[in-house]
A = this chain, B = another copy of it.
Amino acid sequence: MSESLFEKYYETLDQAMNAINNRTFWSAYPEPPSGRIYGETAKDDGFAAYSARLNSPFNIDQPGTTGQVGDESSPFGNALGVTYPKANLDELFSAMNRAMESWSSASPKTRTGVCLEILHRLNKQSFQMANAVMHTTGQAFMMAFQAGGPHAQDRGLEAVAYAYDAMTQCPDRVTWSKQVSKTETITLEKRFRVMPRGVSAVIGCSTFPTWNGYPGLFASLVTGNAVVVKPHPLAILPLAITVEIARSVLTEEGFDPNVVTLLADTVSDPVTKDLATHAAISIIDYTGSSNFAEWIEQNAKHAQVYTEKAGVNSVILDSIDDMKAVSGNLAFSLCLYSGQMCTTPQNIFIPKDGIDVGGERKSFDDVAGAIVKAMDWLLGDPNRAVEILGAIQNERTVDRIEQAKSAGGDVLRESTAITHPAFPEARVHTPLIMKVNASQKDLYTHEAFGPIVYIIATQDTTESIALAADIAATQGAITCAAYSTDDKVLEAVESATSRVGVPLSCNLTGSIWVNQSAAFSDFHVSGANPSGNATLCDAAYVSNRFRIVQSRRPVTS
């Protein structure tokens, strides 16, 4: 229960706190999967550690275990064959409540040190994690390493930094003196304790289990709550490894490991509704479908609920300098992880009469054609293609491609299956690009999750902006990209996206894409439209996960 880990990592925390306040580029955990950084054997060691998990029970010795469950299979082909403890909720949460007593009594510094040590250990396991993320989510290796490893760890650290800042805004004790009359001064010693809300549930998603899971996990944990981690049944392994590491560090530091537990289930026998409505649960962090998020918001009224749901993201093309720079950038954004990022654009709005490109008028079809062509080039080599596309996480996403094609509009680019050079069974499909008119709203105004893109012919940019904003306000949106050579147009887009709570990226070309959200600088999901009620990460995200309870007594001099 010492504060030595806090001291060990103080410099990292201090830099993180500076970063959240100045929003310039900063990262604690290196993103290149490089042997020079992580050790020359790290890649092989990570693969070996991952491989050793397969076809075995994943041992977590936690109370209330009633059996084993697990039914994951890799979108790249094989069944994982890993099983996890199945839990009796009442017994598990009783144990967590007991474990929370000493955890919540520890100082904020002690808890912060423990969380930073967990993040440090997770970072060391980034290659193991990359394999676990790749073979549950379908992400290609590079993304699985970066988004599943260091970027997720950065998001976790960001939450710790916000929470540490919030917990320590108020001192732990102070002497308060008030002169109440000419002759009498009252002097009190006041003490302020950070108290947790209770058992916190982190409900993970199937596409970015660690990146979306760590902020809630670490924000709740560092503020003194116990956390039950409930992964998506198709992506358990990355969070099970996380729980294992957290429990090791807790044990080493003298805490009851049941401060962090795993709750696993299967698609056919889900446990999330029982979890979300259990009276022991005080906080819920949920990432996933809008439907289920709304069910939780309506039914888990006893808990503080943070949600990241889905959205329909737009691109507004008004005028551009360099067609190739723009179409190349967009094509990469559309292909990356087969459109399975919550930040991937779905709708590209182009005026039906075309736009200015480098001072010349280009027709709608020219511009749409340039995007198709850029995608053709990008996906032309299967070796390159699969490293961008990854695999489709869920079979139902593949079905959706055919449904979108037959629902209406013109096919600009067919979706085709690609045989993965290394994993012949992998579920790889290129994006479908459809051309529709602005009036065909039933086709494009709802989320079509996966590799499905609509290029929409509008009256003009004013209509493009209005449609993008209206969809964001009603369906939610997590990103918007706009391209214009006219600052006034960009101001108009920004005014509209601000009102509907959509982060805007303008004129991105080169090695920066609208899908990307950088920890310590970009606020992911604004919380100001139906795509979610919280942001990763800000003070609002952390400051209601604990309460300050005070005492006061006269100072006896």
**Which residues in B have their C-beta under 8 angstroms from that of A297?**
301
Evaluate contact between B505 and A181: CB separation under 8 angstroms. no
**Which residues in B have their C-beta under 8 angstroms from that of A547?**
501, 526-528, 535
- In this complex, which of A190, A518, A551 has the most chain B Cβ atoms within 10 angstroms of its Cβ? A551
- In this complex, which of A191, A497, A527 has the most chain B Cβ atoms within 10 angstroms of its Cβ? A527
Evaluate contact between A528 and B197: CB separation under 8 angstroms. yes
CA distance A543 to B384 in the complex (A): 45
| A528-553 interface bits toward B, Cβ cutoff 8 Å, 1 = contact, 0 = none | 10000001001110011001111111
A447 nearest CB across to chain B (Å): 20
**Which residues in B have their C-beta under 8 angstroms from that of A176?**
23-25, 518, 521
**Which residues in B have their C-beta under 8 angstroms from that of A25?**
176-178
Q: Is A174 an interface residue (CB 8 A)?
A: yes
| A494-509 interface bits toward B, Cβ cutoff 8 Å, 1 = contact, 0 = none | 1001110111111111
- Report the copy number of this chain in the oligomer: 2
Evaluate contact between B554 and A175: CB separation under 8 angstroms. no
A198 nearest CB across to chain B (Å): 9
Q: Is A188 an interface residue (CB 8 A)?
A: yes
Q: For chain A, what secondary structure do more than half of its interface residues adopt (helix, strand, loop), or is it mixed?
A: mixed
Q: Is A511 an interface residue (CB 8 A)?
A: yes
A418 nearest CB across to chain B (Å): 27
Partner of A494, one of B169, B506, B544, B551: B551
**Which residues in B have their C-beta under 8 angstroms from that of A528?**
195, 197, 547, 549
A69 nearest CB across to chain B (Å): 33
Partner of A551, one of B23, B174, B180, B497: B497
Partner of A505, one of B180, B192, B503, B551: B551
CA distance A535 to B186 in the complex (A): 24
A514 nearest CB across to chain B (Å): 9
A496 nearest CB across to chain B (Å): 11
Evaluate contact between B181 and A498: CB separation under 8 angstroms. no
Evaluate contact between B178 and A549: CB separation under 8 angstroms. no
Identify the closest chain B residue to A509 (Cβ). B554
CA distance A175 to B24 in the complex (A): 7
Q: Is A274 an interface residue (CB 8 A)?
A: no
**Which residues in B have their C-beta under 8 angstroms from that of A543?**
538-540, 543
Q: A193-B498, A509-B554 are in contact. Are A22 and B184 (CB under 8 A)?
A: no
The A272-296 residues at the B interface (CB cut-off 8 A) are none
Evaluate contact between A174 and B501: CB separation under 8 angstroms. no
Evaluate contact between B549 and A498: CB separation under 8 angstroms. yes
**Which residues in B have their C-beta under 8 angstroms from that of A535?**
547-548
Evaluate contact between A23 and B192: CB separation under 8 angstroms. yes
Evaluate contact between A497 and B549: CB separation under 8 angstroms. yes
Q: Is A380 an interface residue (CB 8 A)?
A: no
Identify the closest chain B residue to A528 (Cβ). B547
Besides the contacts A190-B521, A504-B550, A522-B550, what 6 more A-B pairs have beta carbons closer than 8 Å? A21-B170, A178-B518, A186-B511, A195-B501, A497-B549, A503-B550
User: 19 pairs across A/B with beta carbons < 8 Å?
Assistant: A20-B170, A22-B171, A23-B170, A23-B192, A25-B177, A178-B518, A184-B510, A184-B511, A188-B512, A297-B301, A301-B301, A501-B549, A503-B549, A503-B552, A504-B550, A504-B551, A506-B551, A506-B553, A540-B544
A residues near B (Cβ < 8 Å) are 20-25, 166, 169-171, 174-178, 180-181, 184, 186, 188, 190-193, 195, 197, 297-298, 301, 490, 494, 497-499, 501-512, 518, 521-523, 526-528, 535, 538-540, 543-544, 547-554
